[in-house]
Every structure is written in C-alpha cells, then in structure tokens.
Amino acid sequence: MSQISNYVRKLIYLVGELWFSPQYALQEEKEFPTQVKNGVVYIISEGPEPDTIIFKCPCGCDEVIYLNLLKDTWPCWDFKISWFGLVSILPSVRRKVRCKSHFYLTSGRVKNCSNFFDY
C-alpha cells in the first residue's frame, strides 16, 4: 500500500511541475548569444562540457547574469535538467551589486530568498 501512495505522490508532483508553466525555458548554445531574451536560460558549451549559464535577472532590472560552471574556478554553479527539460541552478544566485536579488531557479521557476544581510 505504501508503494502505491509513493507512486501517487510522485505523479502529483510531476503533474504539478508541468501544470504551472515555467518562467524560464532552457536553450543550449555553442556560442554566447548576441541578444539575451527574457525568460530563457542559455547553457553555453564552447567545448565538450557546458561552461557558462546566461540569463536575465528575474527582478526586472534587465541585467544579464553570467554564471560560471567550471569546477576549477570560484564561484561555481551547477545545473540540472529534469525529464521535462526544466532547468534548476544550484546553489542560489545572490547579486551583491545593483538590484541585490537573491533567488533560486528551480524547475524553470524563480523562488526568491529572504535577505538576512544587507550588502
């Protein structure tokens, strides 16, 4: 009986993930885009492995955010792509200049964090 309830829970989660449309779509590129579109996360792979994530800040300030994916440099982020092609970025993104946004991008949706410290 518990296996059935686990399957039902997973099914509800997956339907919910698809039901609420993501704020950001995924686009994989070999080169940096000339124009960064709103609502698109670009995964850039200039070599064999992805090295950069690019997207516009979700606060509406229109700034382009560049995140490093190379493990041997700091700071470094990682990303995951769900079965449905929805992108998640880890860890959170905290901008220390301009708009000072702090957020997670999970399954293509922005989840704002409360700011405990002012920079």
Rounded distance, CA 56 to CA 62, Å? 6
Counting as low any pLDDT under 50, the low residues of the chain are 116-119
> 70 in a domain, yes or no?
yes
Q: How many domains does the chain have?
A: 1
β-strands 25-29, 40-44: how paired?
Answer: parallel
The phi, psi pair for 43, rounded to 5°, reads -100, 115
> 6 in a domain, yes or no?
no
Give residue 11's pLDDT: 67
Rounded distance, CA 23 to CA 71, Å? 27
> 41 in a domain, yes or no?
yes
> 5 in a domain, yes or no?
no
Give residue 88's pLDDT: 94
Give residue 96's pLDDT: 87
Q: Which two tokens stand for residue 105?
A: 């991008």
> 48 in a domain, yes or no?
yes
Give residue 19's pLDDT: 58
Give residue 114's pLDDT: 66
Give residue 22's pLDDT: 65
Residue-wise pLDDT tens digits, 75-99: 999 999 988 888 999 999 998 888 8
> 58 in a domain, yes or no?
yes
Which residues are CB-contacts of 61 (< 8 A; sequence separation ≥ 6)? 98, 99, 101
Which domain range does residue 57 map to? Answer: 22-112
> 51 in a domain, yes or no?
yes
> 117 in a domain, yes or no?
no
Give residue 82's pLDDT: 87
